[in-house]
Structure 1
Amino acid sequence: MTTPKPMTHLPNAQKTFQPPVLPTQANAFLGDVASSQHLDADKPISCGFYRLEKGAPLVYTYTYHECKIILEGSFEIADETGQSVSARPGDVFFFPKGATITFRTEEYGLAFYTGQRAEGAA
């Protein structure tokens, strides 16, 4: 018989968790809030919040697969093929490993992500 694994609950995390600023960009914030790394080091997934404030766009090349759901504000999200989307709350995106994505915002945007990567490896 296997030992039951407890769930993790992060009450009101969308409002209370403050992702740290990215070291490369003062208007971009990203932080993991949960990860399976300690349970499955070979195939971890990590999730957290990404916030971009008005200013320079963030250009990011993914080294892992990621899903992102827009929670607040808005983003202009473009890929290297020329596809561009005006993203609003409720929109869901899948970014495959190797994709280069540009994130812009006129005010701010907040998103929740889940990536196929180790904790802190974004």
Structure 2
Amino acid sequence: MPVDYASKIQQYKVPNLPEAGANVFFGDVLGNKSLTGSWFLLEGPSDSTPPKYPYDESGILIEGELSIKDETGKKINLQPGDTFFVHNGSEITFSTPKFALAYKTSNRPVSKL
């Protein structure tokens, strides 16, 4: 199997995800029918619209500050280098005071949001 590659410039070309909010940007970078890697950019101050996750997702905060709040009210504050895991069926709100850039992987097909 070949190796796929995406250059760093891809993190600066993250498209807006209007259904999640005007300050939410999300784009698939690499993947196949069962695993996808995506850039996630949140401009602040803002909160994302909480989706119900139909898949598991893991991520790492690359730059900025990111807060994650689940449906139980549990809130975590992430700094660059911190990782997170969202369980299938969770309802998550992402927020940031200024901006956050994360790389996320999920067990879903590419562009199947």
State the TM-score, normalizing by the size of structure 2: 0.91
Aligned counterpart, 2:67: 76
Which whole-Å CA distance do the structure 1 matches of 2:63 and 2:51 have between them? 20
State the TM-score, normalizing by the size of structure 1: 0.84
**Structure 2: segments with no counterpart, 5+ residues:** none
**Structure 1: segments with no counterpart, 5+ residues:** 38-43
Q: Is the 8 A contact 2:60 2:102 kept in 1?
A: yes
Find out whether 1:51 has 2:41 as its counterpart. yes
Q: Is the 8 A contact 2:45 2:99 kept in 1?
A: no
Point out the structure with max Rg over C-alpha.
Answer: 1
Tell me which amino acid in the other structure corresponds to 2:5. H
Aligned counterpart, 2:6: 10
Secondary structure at the aligned position of 1:26 is classed as coil
Which whole-Å CA distance do the structure 2 matches of 1:92 and 1:56 have between them? 20
Find out whether 1:67 has 2:58 as its counterpart. yes
Quote how far apart the aligned CAs of 1:56 are. Answer: 3.4
Superposed CA deviations along residues 36-74 of structure 1, whole A, max 9, x for unmatched, are: 22xxxxxx1111100000143112221101001100000
Secondary structure at the aligned position of 2:23 is classed as strand
Which whole-Å CA distance do the structure 2 matches of 1:96 and 1:13 have between them? 29
Question: What is the CA RMSD across the aligned residues, in angstroms?
Answer: 1.4
Quote how far apart the aligned CAs of 1:104 are. Answer: 0.7
Among 82, 90, 93, the residue aligned to 1:99: 90
Quote how far apart the aligned CAs of 1:35 are. Answer: 1.0
Tell me which amino acid in the other structure corresponds to 1:53. E
Among 19, 22, 32, the residue aligned to 2:17: 22
In percent, how many aligned pairs have the same letter?
Answer: 34
Superposed CA deviations along residues 59-106 of structure 1, whole A, max 9, x for unmatched, are: 222110100110000011111122111111111111011000111111
